[in-house]
Structure 1
Amino acid sequence: MNELKGKVALITGAGQGVGEGIALALATEGLDVAVVGRTLAKLESTCEALRARGVRAAAYEIDVSDTAALATLVDRVVTDFGRLDILVNNAYAGAYGPLLDMSDDDFRKGFESAPFAAFALMKACHPHLKGGGSIVNLVTSAMVRWDPTTYGAYAAAKSALRSLTRTVAVEWAPDGIRANSIAPHAMSPGLEGWTKAHPEEAGAFVASIPMRRIGDPEADIGRAVVALVGPDLGYLTGATIPLDGGQAFFG
């Protein structure tokens, strides 16, 4: 029996890339999906693909940086779907670049869209996840990158999210809630555009991945999330799972 079928997942940043890939993988297992993001047209496109796989899907247009609105979002999702079992915090809208060139506001954006938004969503989802729910927060191998140049703000925000995830895992374990982080490499639209614009740099990047390829959002990242939230890994919580073809060393 598929123990995930009929459950409901809320996924932020699900209009494209890794978020969409995770949504599609979960839909294949029969999960209904609340598709959250900033661009309605992209969200609706994801919803169409999910419905084609036989599940319920609904789009929720919101900027997760507006943390005051996130509790209401969760209430809407629970009202629309009748339950909530899985939360995936994928959205990120921060800045990249040398630290001396970065404004305070740009540095702050990554924290607002990653740890602050995740904190608000996790708290709002907590009563609905009790008794078997699961949280997956997306972090990054940039946190342990050999050369963090231009990735400083991104790595800092995601490091905060990773630490937060570990605390949630420990504090909420008695409530039956698991929380884990994943650090993926996947061919998102942004990364695909960069690889086409900078083929030599992209070649060097791929060469630094032991498996010599960039992951697929659904097949490599989404399927891993299916395993992570499923019963077979029910004793795993507080972990950070690298999904990067062996590139990063988390120690």
Structure 2
Amino acid sequence: MTDRIIIVTGAGQGVGQGIALAFAAQGDTVVLAGRTLSKLAETKRMIDQRGQGTARAIECNVKSAASLGELVSQTVAEFGGIDILVNNAQEVPNGELLAVADDAFIAGFESGPLATLRLMKLVQPHMAARGGGVIFNLVSSVIHRWDMTGYGAYAATKSAIQSLTRGAAAEWGKDKIRVLNVAPHAESPGLKGWAEKNPDEARAFFKTIPLGRVGQCEEDIGRAVVALCGPEMAYLTGATIPLDGGQANFD
């Protein structure tokens, strides 16, 4: 369970940071990718301070094919390969459909499904060469909202990612590469910002979580992702794992 090389996009805060911290706690090498180097530096500082694992921060814009290529090239050159990929970073095109601008919708797809596909394709040969690996693509329970008003554009990007995961799992199983969706609720800056802007909706939303709380980024989401990489989970691929306190129905 040690000496693995992990790339986590959007590792400067929230769920991405929590996942990075959880892997580092296992003694892994974590490549922290994101647009804001200062945020990545803070995650690296937290990892270094704990004295567990190794962290390397690499500035990366997931909407740029060249930037993604450089991320993978630097990781392989420095550490020799890639074992786990976490596609976490994405811009969110929220709003009612008549108000969602083309640019925002395109940005959601460039940073979401397109970036996910590009990065999966980039790491695939490196994982295959090492005898396998695990890819996590982050989706959302927004796909199954009872009222899609204001969330249709965002749900469209996450639905596309869910389909890409199924395709990759089917095509790359022969290479012992597992591909999973994770759908988390966590106390991230994004969720907190949404709750502040929509206090009444947020209160009603949180009341529907059977476990009665929002998850913690490292303790509830990060550690679960780490556990899904263990040998006990070696037969699980192509699935969507809800880490949302039992709220959404993914059946």
Corresponding residue for residue 118 of structure 1: 116
- Structure 1 runs not aligned, ≥5 long: none
- Structure 2 runs not aligned, ≥5 long: none
Corresponding residue for residue 38 of structure 2: 41
In structure 1, how many angstroms separate the alpha carbons of the residues matched to 2:19 and 2:100?
Answer: 31
Corresponding residue for residue 235 of structure 1: 235
Per-residue deviation, 1:193: 3.4
Per-residue deviation, 1:212: 1.3
Corresponding residue for residue 226 of structure 1: 226
Corresponding residue for residue 211 of structure 1: 211
Corresponding residue for residue 132 of structure 2: 132
Corresponding residue for residue 12 of structure 1: 9
TM-score, length basis structure 1: 0.95
Tell me if structure 2 keeps the 8 A contact 1:137–1:182: yes
Q: Match of 1:248, SS?
A: coil
Q: Match of 2:32, SS?
A: strand
- Percent identity, aligned pairs only, is 55
Post-superposition Cα deviations, 1:94-134, rounded to whole Å, max 9, x if no partner, equal: 31100001111111111100110011111110111111210
Per-residue deviation, 1:36: 0.4
In structure 2, how many angstroms separate the alpha carbons of the residues matched to 1:105 and 1:203?
Answer: 31
Q: Match of 1:41, SS?
A: helix
Corresponding residue for residue 154 of structure 1: 154
Per-residue deviation, 1:197: 5.2
Post-superposition Cα deviations, 1:171-210, rounded to whole Å, max 9, x if no partner, equal: 0000110000011111101222343455443321210111
In structure 1, how many angstroms separate the alpha carbons of the residues matched to 2:105 and 2:152?
Answer: 9
In structure 2, how many angstroms separate the alpha carbons of the residues matched to 1:149 and 1:48?
Answer: 40
Per-residue deviation, 1:158: 0.7
Instruction: Check if 1:91 corresponds to 2:81.
Output: no
Tell me if structure 1 keeps the 8 A contact 2:27–2:54: no
In structure 2, how many angstroms separate the alpha carbons of the residues matched to 1:124 and 1:198?
Answer: 38
Q: Match of 2:16, SS?
A: helix
Instruction: Check if 1:51 corresponds to 2:48.
Output: yes
Distance 1:197 1:153, change over 3 A: closer
Corresponding residue for residue 82 of structure 1: 80
- Alignment partner of 2:104 out of 98, 103, 106: 106
Corresponding residue for residue 22 of structure 2: 25
Q: Match of 1:118, SS?
A: helix
In structure 2, how many angstroms separate the alpha carbons of the residues matched to 1:43 and 1:196?
Answer: 25
Where do residues 193-208 of structure 1 align in structure 2 (5 Å cutoff)?
193-196=193-196, 198-208=198-208
Q: Match of 2:209, SS?
A: coil
Tell me if structure 2 keeps the 8 A contact 1:94–1:111: no
Per-residue deviation, 1:161: 0.5
Report the AA paired with residue 179 of structure 2.
Answer: A
Q: RMSD in angstroms over aligned alpha carbons?
A: 1.2
Report the AA paired with residue 240 of structure 2.
Answer: T
Tell me if structure 2 keeps the 8 A contact 1:67–1:116: no
Report the AA paired with residue 183 of structure 1.
Answer: A
Q: Match of 1:52, SS?
A: helix
